[in-house]
Chain A
Amino acid sequence: DIQMTQSPSSLSASVGDRVTITCRASQSISSYLNWYQQKPGRAPNLLIYAASSLQSGVPSRFSGSGSGTDFSLTISSLQPDDFATYYCQQSYTTPRVTFGGGTKVEIK
């Protein structure tokens, strides 16, 4: 199985901050990398697919980059609604997908 490692596991930030979360795959996955946001008690919500494509309806302050083994999700200006947990997911070995361990973004 391809292992996905996210860092940091948690971070504290203020409204308006620029936040970057990284995700590393244990082997090359090309651009088969998706990002999700999950709020407590809710299902995950797709933010970014194919490493850098913004899902319809997702604010443009979210962006993704990377290919191969190293990826990142950036929130350009953190908003109150963005405090949540973020997960990366590799789909290179579809349908046997795997997720990173998550990054919890908390209010400083």
Chain B
Amino acid sequence: EVQLVESGGGLVQPGRSLRLSCTASGFTLGDYSFSWLRQAPGKGLEWVGFSRSKAYGGTAEYAASVKGRFTISRDDSKSIAYLQMDSLKTEDTAVYYCTTTFGNDVFHAFDIWGQGTTVTVSS
């Protein structure tokens, strides 16, 4: 079964750091790009960032709201994606999802999602 599982969420104080992980199973994460999205409590979905597969350069892009604070990386040998979040703000409080366009890359439709991991930034 093709699956993504996130971990690493929790309660963190403003200004501190947290690293989320996303483990892929049933497929080789290295062959695919992936994205991180988030959803603040009671709000809609927001794109956070994107990582290209090595075949397409392995580069990352970020939303303006997190650029310079968040870093996406990947360990393709372990099929794990990471979201390093530094200088966290209260407005970063959200459920974070990793997702990929496994079978829908042409129209960039997210067909595989993790279950989400909750990040709460509060003093």
Contact = CB atoms under 8 A, between A and B. Distances in A.
Interface of A: 31-32, 34, 36, 42-46, 49-50, 53, 55-56, 87, 89, 91, 94-102
Contact of A87 (B35, B44, B106): B44
Chain B, interface residues (CB within 8 Å), range: 20 to 34
Contacts of B97: 43-44
B103 to A, nearest CB: 8
Nearest to B115: A43
Interface of B: 33, 35, 44-47, 50, 61, 63, 97, 99, 103-104, 106-111, 113-116
Nearest to B109: A49
B33 to A, nearest CB: 7
Contacts of B50: 95-96
Given A44-B110, A53-B107, A87-B44, 6 more contacts: A36-B45, A55-B111, A87-B45, A89-B45, A89-B109, A99-B46
